[in-house]
Amino acid sequence: MADEWKKESPKLAVVVPCYNEEAVIGETLTELLDVIKRLKSSSAIDEGSFIYCVDDGSRDRTWDCISDAHSGDATVKGLKLAANKGHQNALLAGLLSVRDSVDCIISVDADLQDDINSIVDMIEKFSEGYDIVYGVRKKRAADSVFKHYSAALFYKMMHALGVKIIYNHADFRLISRRVVDSLSTFGEVNLFLRGIIPLIGFRAASIFYERKARKAGKTKYPLKKMLSFAWDGVTSFSVAPLRLVTAVGAIIFLATLAMSAWALYSKIVGLVLPGWTSTVLPIYFIGGIQVMCIGIIGEYLGKIYMEVKARPRYIKDMELF
Ligand code: UDP
Ligand code: MG
């Protein structure tokens, strides 16, 4: 049992989710191939190690670029999904597709924002016996002021809600094969890998790097997608909003008791002031609270609905292997 999964020169797959990345994918692959070659020549990784690009239903020439790279060097392999399923699902498709043929997998974005030279350090940590190596950004110099603060708020909120995510870590990480095997047993449709990986356990380490600006192309995470991603993160891992509803309900109930006592007292003492405000304000107040509560419950109901359907998280179109 001991450390049989640990290998001298582990076989590595680098999984790269790509969505409309024609502007940058060529350069990314050239740089990645360079790192892989260096690692192979120093015997840090197995000769059969490879890069696995997952084309997440791109509408530009991304798949052609991947095919061209594959023809030039079979170290580059690829998977084309039949439709755009989002970053997390594309990543999962890659992880699950390669897990049987490798010892460890590194996931990295297609835009070279993460420092791919850190791959060397990740492999070193893996050889030391760590199953998970998180790539953690040192600072967010390349991000806009808004992204910087919104991200910090997001991490704080997640922690306050009890979700164990690693501060300033996105999806640049190494995981061992047994972590991916464990991951495959999580059947959820609303996938938030940053929350799930720390839940799995095993020995984990972090390496630190400078996050750069996108090499080319545009971000695929506009504000709307970012907010929906953060909200998914909260509602997929925490029932705190539901508890909040209960707490608000309880407080209102107590307040209503006090109000009733006061009304009764006023009537008995003869302080009858039949005002419009005192009638209408509670209606607005209670109405607002009720709608908010129904909304939050609806959010979870929607989640349950999606999970119960258990639709496939991705559909494969073709593979270059
Ligand atoms: N991505 C994807 N599917 C999507 C959106 C994004 O596979 O629907 C990929 C994208 O190609 C990139 C990674 O996810 O490799 C992260 O996206 P991006 O760099 O646009 O996000 P940001 O770094 O701006 O948060
Ligand atoms: Mg990016």
- Euclidean distance between CA atoms 91 and 308, whole angstroms: 22
Q: Give yes or no for residue 94 CB within 6 A of ligand 1.
A: no
pLDDT in tens, the chain (321 residues): 445 555 689 999 999 999 999 999 999 999 999 999 999 999 999 999 999 999 999 999 999 999 999 999 999 999 999 999 999 999 999 999 999 999 999 999 999 899 999 999 999 999 999 999 999 988 766 677 887 788 888 888 888 877 788 888 889 999 999 999 989 988 887 788 988 898 888 899 999 998 888 888 888 777 788 788 888 878 777 777 777 777 787 788 788 778 778 777 877 787 766 676 677 667 777 877 787 788 788 778 878 877 776 766 776 668 888
Q: Which ligand is nearest to the CA of 113?
A: 2
290 Cα–ligand 1 center, Å: 37
Instruction: Considering every ligand atom shown, identify the ligand nearest to the alpha carbon of residue 17 and give its number.
Output: 1
Burial 108-119 (b: 16+ CB within 10 A, else e): bbbbbbbbbebb
Measured from the Cα of 86, ligand 1's closest atom is 8
Task: Give which of 22, 29, 94 is closest to 62, Cα–Cα.
Answer: 22
Name the pairing type of β-strands 12-18 and 50-55: parallel
Q: How far is the centre of ligand 1, averaged over its atoms, from the C-alpha of 285 (Å)? A: 42
Q: Whose Cα sits closest to atom 14 in ligand 1?
A: 87
Give the tokens for residue 198: 């720390």
Mutate to test the pocket of ligand 1, among 14, 84, 87 (most ligand atoms within 8 A of CB): 87
Q: Which atom of ligand 1 is nearest to the CA of 109?
A: 15
Amino acid at 116: I
Amino acid at 169: H
55 ligand 1 Cβ < 6 A: no
| Ligand (nearest to CA of 218) | 1
Q: How far is the CA of 220 from the centre of ligand 1 (A)?
A: 5
> Which of 112, 168, 161, 160 is CA-nearest to residue 140?
168
Q: Is 211 in the pocket of ligand 1 (CB under 6 A)?
A: no
110 alpha carbon – ligand 2 mean position (Å): 7
- Ligand 1 binding pocket includes 90 (Cβ within 6 Å): yes
According to the model, what pLDDT value does residue 54 have? 97
